[in-house]
Amino acid sequence: VDLAPLVAQLGSSGVIVDATDRARYEEPARGRRGTAAAVVRPATLEEVRAVVEWARTNQVRLLPQGANTGLVGASTPGVSSNDGEPTVVLSLERLDAGLTVDAGDRVAVVAAGTRLSALNAAAARHDLHLPIDLSADPSLGGMVATNTGGSRVLRYGSLRRHVLGAEVVFADAAVSVVTHLDAVRKDSRGLELPQLLVGSGGALGVVTRVAVALTPVPEATATWWIEPRDEAAVPELLAALEQDPAHGELLSALELLSVGALEAAASHGGEGGGVPFAARRPPVVLLAEWSGPSTAIDGLERLFARLVEAGLANDAVAVPPARSWALRHGVTDALRVRGVVLGHDVATPRRALMAFRADARAAVQALVPRAEVSDFGHVGDGGLHCNVVFPHGIAPPTSAERAAIRGAIEAAVAAHGGTYSAEHGLGPLNAARWRATTPVVEQAVIAAIKRTVDPLGLLGHRDHPYNHASLGSEEKPDRA
């Protein structure tokens, strides 16, 4: 690959070739490391265009990468992608200048490389925030490419809902730039091009800026831990919390932790005494959050007294939000420390989640009795991280076991009308499933879009589903 023209345009700090320096761009947060011919780091829109032009001229694959926190392998080379074609990581991390917050309009315009934490720090000065809550700290461009969800989707929706516009560089012959950053909140001009980029995993265009709607930081927040009567009571508890007239609309999260997930997080955090209901070890506990005016958060004690009296819950206890979320967000790391983790990011219709969960757990335990199913996730929106742990000291999963576990979980998800990718987006890790389950006409639509905005097929991981969409049988238009 001839990098000289890029070095001339981006400067030497804009092009990384040294293997040691490349490492953190090549190592994915989940999956296996591959090799990039280089990492290019444009710092302006014009430099992004120059990179795309260079890639077109040199037939080089570009992997757009934000903060490299993605979990489906979309932004790193991976082991399979170097078969005969050079791959370059297009890091957007230097594209992080020019953050603006319009407090009256409640809109922020953010460069793609800006981290969620930096956006929220700037927004907090106006008592605003982007209410997406997760344990990682992704970049805004990566969040668009992923359609990030998190713990508060129940109330605020996934990132898609907050995206008012974007600036995107395409890899068509003109290297077109489309800029929709005016942040109009009511618009029915048909296709909203930025919406197409949501969840596209870097395979349709390079997002360089994003306009997002902000919401007020709530005056008060309360978190309670709940021990449900049993697993079957969980859907009824969700309904009861949502239907409470005084607090239902203020419910901002309802999370579930299996006993394995909770205990791993507690021991990892080194705070042994603080685990709710630790002595009884219930199979699942729930974490509920309410946010809103301080006067409206009152009265949760009475609500829980009613739920206990009704037999839906055994117990409930208020724990300060910071402690609650530290425990909850510590689960992912805690499981990783415990051993080999096979992660599965799934969701079903909310009504079906607990039935799915029972089926999936039974199937996995039948396949690998030695493993622990330490699942946790988002009862409030139907999402579940159905994570299977092989602790240190027992045999790690074989390749066949990994595939069998994934197959069993995804079959259970499909049987309950769910999705194999709830909030982690599309990438090589779920490409086969996408291709097997996406209707032919939907694949053909993707292929047609892809051919229009990236006719040389250079953008996104070689194994990204959009790079393997079936065009279907083409029909020639026979009228004007």
Site for a copy of itself in 319-358 (CB under 8 A): 347-351
With binding defined as CB under 8 A, does residue 243 bind a copy of itself? yes
Residue type, 300: L
Strand 61-65 and strand 87-91: the pairing is parallel
In the 8-state DSSP scheme, what is residue 377? E
User: Can you tell me which of 1, 135, 161, 277 binds a copy of itself, judged by CB under 8 A?
Assistant: 161
Q: How many other CB atoms are there within 10 angstroms of residue 278's CB atom?
A: 15
Report d(CA 311, CA 313) in Å as an integer: 6
Is 476 a residue that touches a copy of itself (CB under 8 A)?
A: yes
**Backbone φ and ψ of 197, nearest 5°:** -75, -20
Answer yes or no whether residue 201 interacts with a copy of itself by CB under 8 A.
yes
Rounded Cα–Cα distance for residues 145 and 202 (Å): 6
Whose Cβ is closer to a copy of itself: residue 304's or residue 420's?
420
The least distance separating a copy of itself from the CB of residue 236, rounded to whole angstroms, comes to 8
- Would you report the helix, strand and coil content of the chain in percent, each value rounded to 5? 40, 20, 40
C-beta closer to a copy of itself: residue 217 or 404: 217
Nearer to a copy of itself by C-beta: 225 or 466?
Answer: 466
Write the interaction track for a copy of itself spanning residues 11-50; mark x where CB under 8 A is met and - where it is not.
----------------------------------------
Smallest distance, a copy of itself to C-beta of residue 166, A: 12
Residues 455-474 that bind a copy of itself (CB under 8 A): 455-457, 465-466, 472-474
> Residue 397 in 3-state DSSP?
coil
Interacting positions 254-313 with a copy of itself (CB under 8 A):
292-296
With CB under 8 A as the contact rule, the residue among 115, 247, 268, 406 that binds a copy of itself is 247
DSSP 11-77: -GGGEE--HHHHHHHHS-SSS-----SEEE---SHHHHHHHHHHHHHHT-EEEEESSS--SSSSSS-
Smaller CB distance to a copy of itself: residue 116 or 259?
Answer: 116
Q: Give me 332's structure tokens.
A: 């992912």
- For a copy of itself, the binding residues in 382-441 under the rule CB under 8 A are 382-383, 417-426, 434, 438-441
Residue among 178, 181, 185 at smallest CA distance from 211: 181
| Number of amino acids touching a copy of itself (CB under 8 A) | 107
**Cβ 132 to a copy of itself, closest distance in Å?**
12
Choice between 125 and 189, CB closer to a copy of itself: 189
| Contact with a copy of itself (CB under 8 A) among 69, 91, 147, 332 | 147
Query: Which residue's CB is nearer to a copy of itself, number 27 or number 236?
Result: 236
Position 137 contacts a copy of itself (CB under 8 A):
no
Q: Contact region for a copy of itself (CB under 8 A) — 16-24, 26-34, 151-159, 359-367?
A: 151-159
Q: Which of residues 52-71 bind a copy of itself (CB under 8 A)?
A: 59
Considering only residues 69, 76, 114, 158, which one is a binding residue for a copy of itself as defined by CB under 8 A?
158
Which of the residues 62 through 121 are near a copy of itself (CB under 8 A)? 102-107
Q: For residues 65 and 348, which CB has a smaller minimum distance to a copy of itself in the complex?
A: 348
- The Cα–Cα gap between 229 and 14 comes to 57
Which residue, 268 or 416, is less far from a copy of itself as judged by CB? 416
| Rounded Cα gap, residues 143 and 424, in angstroms | 9
In the complex, minimum distance from the CB of residue 280 to a copy of itself, in angstroms, rounded to a whole number: 27
Site of tokens 């713990």: 151
Q: Which stretch binds a copy of itself (CB under 8 A): 46-54, 112-120, 146-154, 278-286?
A: 146-154
User: Length of the chain, please?
Assistant: 480
Alpha-carbon distance values, 166 to 22, 111, 112, 196, 266 (Å): 28, 10, 9, 10, 40
Q: Of 17, 99, 239, 340, which lies in the binding site for a copy of itself, with binding defined by CB under 8 A?
A: 239
Q: Is 221 in the site for a copy of itself (CB under 8 A)?
A: no
Of 182, 310, 320, 403, the residue at the interface with a copy of itself (CB under 8 A) is 182
- Give the residue with the Cβ less far from a copy of itself, 213 or 335: 213
Are 357 and 375 within 8 A, CB to CB?
yes
Q: What are 467-472's contacts with CB under 8 Å, separation 24+?
A: 467/203, 468/431, 468/435, 469/435, 469/438, 469/443, 469/444, 470/435, 470/440, 470/443, 470/444, 471/443, 471/444, 471/447, 472/440, 472/441, 472/443, 472/444, 472/447
**Shortest distance in whole angstroms from residue 176 CB to a copy of itself:** 4
CB of 240 to a copy of itself, least distance (A): 10
DSSP 223-265: EEEEEESSGGGHHHHHHHHHH-TTTGGGEEEEEEEEHHHHHHH
- Angstrom distance (rounded) from CA 417 to CA 98: 43
